[in-house]
Amino acid sequence: MVFSSLLFLFRFLPIAFLIYYIVPKKLKNLSLLLLSLFFYSWGEPRYFPIMLATILVNYLAALGIEKFAEKKALRRAFFLIAVFFSLGMLFFFKYTNFFIENLNGLLRLSIGTLELTLPLGISFYTFQTMSYTIDVFRGKVKAEHNIIDLGAFVVLFPQLIAGPIVLYTDINEALKNRKINLAQIEDGVKTFILGLGKKVLIANNIGALWTEVEKIGFANVSSPLAWLGILAFSLQIFFDFSGYSTMAIGLGKMLGFEFPENFNYPYIARSITDFWRRWHMTLSAWFREYVYIPLGGNRKGKARMYFNLFVVWACTGFWHGANWNFIFWGLFFFVFLAVEKAGFSKFLDKHRIFSHVYVLFLLLMSWSLFAITDLTQLGTFFMRMFSFTVGADWLYYLRNYAVTIVIACVLSTPLIPRLFEKVNIGWLKNTVYVLILLLSVAYLVDATYNPFLYFRF
């Protein structure tokens, strides 16, 4: 069940919020837990026990860490059990076949792959539960003694499937004591509508262009169409994922939670470093807090800093998918982040126009790496991009998608939101929200194209 579906909008959402609002305060976390488990099980009933096991293992491990605070060996044992369990589930479902296939290719073996379906959101909720156990181990937060409250945190349905990655320290106080008022609900509804519009009206429409390019075949497109296609994918993945994150934040507000922002107009960045301060910010923060800094960060000399960056970005790429293209995608960013740390960022700071061109060009290259998992097809696509063959095909697609591309490009900057904030006419603003909602629903009623790119992660 996805947020941008009629099933969610007109069945699950009204029933879930009706139940949530009418139950007494002491039962709200229980209702939230049960509703979230139902939401998750609707799409993945087979993996319902894994979700319950994840909650139980981390709950008991954190209690063990707290109880044996003076016994370092036992304390560490509980911590390692939780971490190995969480990572073990992630690696088994997401990476087993990747390693089998590569082992077969390297050693000429014929080990059979497993028939596995990736549990929805496992990459996201694994990181969330790990952060909780790590923070308890560090003494940053106390262990949660109420398994209902911890379970509500782990499976909180607005951010369960695709983030933002919400840490226990972000909402632990709200789990115990949160207030919900009409102004907060109204703000949440408006935020949700904006996210829905991003996803349905922009991402879905612009994404259809990239889908058509894939159907044509990379070997059959002209250079302009190849560039046009990857531009479309770049806009699609931004509005697709940021739209989902915005919807999640809006739903969180309606439930009484404040989730962290996940995007801050990343395409206006003037360096790759700046881009990753703006794109999927909760993931970047997670890797910085739980991988980069524990490895030593930049405190142990430049050589160690570059090694730490290499580890973080190899892991970041691998986290996104069990294919070599994702690893190369992560290492692609490592190279340019390292170059910028070596001093190139000073040059970029002095050359405003060049810095924007530099970032946008590299991002188009990176999204090519991200979008095409078959390395042979990836090579073909890059050849078409730089072969400078000019055909007439791109004119047809430009004519059909030009307006959508222009609108998406403008909305990927803060220009329109800033102008909208200056409007002081309440009824006019509300009319815009209603219009976005009606157009989004009309699209969902009529459309068959409604993918969500980050579900596969």
Angle, CA of 158, 164 and 168, to the nearest 5°: 85
Nearest CA-CA partner of 406 in 416, 392, 396: 416
* Cα distance between residue 351 and residue 231, in whole Å: 24
* Cα distance between residue 86 and residue 83, in whole Å: 5
- Token couple for 131: 């952060």
* Cα distance between residue 207 and residue 228, in whole Å: 11
Q: Is 320 a catalytic residue?
A: yes
CB-based contacts of 378: which residues, under 8 Å, 6+ apart? 325, 368, 369, 372
Q: Which of 145, 280, 320, 351 is catalytic?
A: 320
* Cα distance between residue 133 and residue 117, in whole Å: 26
* Backbone dihedral angles phi then psi of residue 450, each to the nearest 5 degrees: -150, 60
Ramachandran area for residue 359 (φ above 0: left; ψ -120 to 50: alpha; else beta):
alpha
Q: Is 177 helix (H, G, I), strand (E, B) or coil?
A: coil
- Given a contact cutoff of 8 angstroms between Cβ atoms, the answer to whether 151 and 55 are in contact is yes
* Cα distance between residue 455 and residue 457, in whole Å: 5
Amino acid identity, position 185: I
* Cα distance between residue 268 and residue 285, in whole Å: 20
Q: Which helix (H) or strand (E) holds 186?
A: helix 182-197
* Cα distance between residue 316 and residue 320, in whole Å: 7
Residue 159: how many CA atoms within 13 Å on its side-chain side?
33
Name the residues annotated as catalytic: 320
